[in-house]
Structure 1
C-alpha cells in the first residue's frame, strides 16, 4: 500500500499544532496553579513597579551607610576566599572521580556507574538543603558554609569533567595507547594536558557561581556576606543592606570580567 506523501506544508502544520498544544497545556497548568494558590496575575503584575519603587527608595545607599563599608568588604572578602577554596578542593576531588567515571578513562563499567551516581546525588540536592542538613551537625560556622558549597560543587564538576574527558581526550588517549604507554602515562601525559584549558574554564565559572550562592548559604549558616546582609535587613538598616547588595554585584561583575579575560587567553 502506497503511503501518503508528506509535504512541507503538512509537516509545518502538524508542528504548529503540537507547539500550540504544548503552550495550551502550560497555560492551563498556570491557570490551575493560580486558582489553587489564589494568585491574582493582574494585581501581581501591577504591584511590580511599586515594589521596585520601594526598593529604590529604601535600599538606596546613603552617606551614612558608607560607615558600614569596611565591615561589608571584610565579610565579602571572606566569602570570596571561601568560594575559591571550595572550588579548588572540589576540582581536585572531581578530576580524580571523573577519570574513574569517564567512558574513555574509566577502569570498569561498575566504577563508571558508581561515579555517575555519586555526581548525580551531590548535584541534585539543592544548595539550601545541603546548608540546612550540615547546619544540624556543624552549627553556624564558616566550615558549614564551606562544606555546603563543596558538596554541591563536587557534583557539578564531576559531571562537567567527565564530559570534557569524553569530548576532548579520546583521540589523544588512543594515540598514546597505540605506542604502548601505560594507563598512568596516558592519564598524565595525554588526558590531563589536553583538558587543562577546559578544566580551568569550568573552575572559573564555578568560582563566580559560588560567590553568588555563598550569599544565600551565609544567611542560613550565619557566615560571610550573607550573614551581614541578614543582620542589616532584620534590623531595618535598609541602606546598609543596599550597600551590601551593591558590593556583591560589583565583586561578581569584577570576577566575571576577570574570568572572561583568562578564558580568552587559555582557550
Structure 2
C-alpha cells in the first residue's frame, strides 16, 4: 500500500514538473525570450555597470541631499504604517470572529481589507495620482491604503489565534466588550501585531522608492531625476544608500522581534 502511494506521489510530481516546463516554454515563446542570449549578455552588462556606476568624490558631494530625501521617505513610510496600524486594529476587532460586534461589520471589515490588499501599491499610486497630483500626500495615501489591507488581515488572524479561555472567563463574569478587548485580546495579540507592523515598515520603505518615482516625492523622485539625466554615478550612490538603509532597518526590526516575541 505504501509502495503504491509512493508511486502515485512520484507520478504526480513528475506530471507537475512537466506542466511547469511546458508553461515556462510557452511563456518564453510568447514573449520571445531567449535564455541563451540573456546569459551571453551578462558579461557585457557587468562591464557597463563597472564603467558607468562608479562612485566618485564628486558624486559623494550629493550625499547630504540624498540623505534628506531618504529620511523623508523613511519617515513617510513609518507614518503611513503607524496610521494604518491604528485603523487596522479597529477593523480587525470588527472583523475577527472573537471580537466581532455583528456579522455585518465583520463582513464589511474583511471586505475593506481584501479590497485594499489585492490592489498593488503601484496601482494605488496611479489611482491617487489623478486626484491628488504629484506630492507627498499621494505617496502617503498609497502606502497607507496598501498597508491597511495587509495589517487588517494580519491582525484578524492574530486575534483569532488568541487563547479563548481568558475571553470566556471575562465574558462569564459579565465584563464589558471594551474590558474584554483591553484585558484579554490585546495583551495576547500585541506582540504578533507589533511584529507585523515592523514587517510593514520594512516593506513600505522598499515600496516607497517606486511610489516616489510615480508621485515625484522622496528618494524615488531623486532616483528618477538622475536616471533620466543619465547621471548613473549618482544613481548608483542612491541605490547603495537605499539598500544599506533597508538592511539596517531589517536588522533593527529582527532584533526588536526577538525581544517582543
Q: Same fold (TM over 0.5)?
A: yes
Matching residue of 2:201: 207
User: 1:192-231 alignment to 2 at 5 Å?
Assistant: 192-231=186-225
Matching residue of 1:124: 118
User: 1:78-227 alignment to 2 at 5 Å?
Assistant: 78-227=72-221
Q: The residue matched to 1:140 in structure 2 has which SS?
A: coil
Moved more, 196-205 or 154-163: 196-205
- How much does 1:57 deviate? 3.0
User: 1:8-87 alignment to 2 at 5 Å?
Assistant: 8-87=2-81
Note closer, same or farther for the CA distance 1:53–1:172 as it changes in structure 2 (3 Å cut): farther
Q: Give CA deviations for 1:91-126 in whole Å, capped at 9, x if unaligned.
A: 000000000000111112222222111111000001
Note closer, same or farther for the CA distance 1:46–1:173 as it changes in structure 2 (3 Å cut): farther
User: What is the TM-score when the length of structure 2 is the normalising length?
Assistant: 0.96
- For the 8 Å contact 1:169–1:195, the answer to whether it is kept is no
Q: The residue matched to 1:251 in structure 2 has which SS?
A: helix
- In structure 2, distance between residues paired with 1:121 and 1:175: 35
Q: The residue matched to 1:106 in structure 2 has which SS?
A: coil
- In structure 2, distance between residues paired with 1:54 and 1:171: 63
- In structure 1, distance between residues paired with 2:168 and 2:58: 64
- For the 8 Å contact 1:123–1:154, the answer to whether it is kept is yes
- For the 8 Å contact 1:87–1:203, the answer to whether it is kept is yes
- How much does 1:263 deviate? 1.2
- In structure 1, distance between residues paired with 2:126 and 2:171: 47
- How much does 1:70 deviate? 0.6
- For the 8 Å contact 1:121–1:155, the answer to whether it is kept is yes
Matching residue of 2:246: 252
- For the 8 Å contact 1:135–1:221, the answer to whether it is kept is yes
- In structure 2, distance between residues paired with 1:214 and 1:95: 23
Matching residue of 1:241: 235
Aligned CA-pair RMSD: 1.2
Moved more, 152-161 or 44-53: 44-53
Moved more, 45-54 or 81-90: 45-54
- In structure 2, distance between residues paired with 1:119 and 1:52: 43
- How much does 1:42 deviate? 1.4
User: What is the TM-score when the length of structure 1 is the normalising length?
Assistant: 0.94
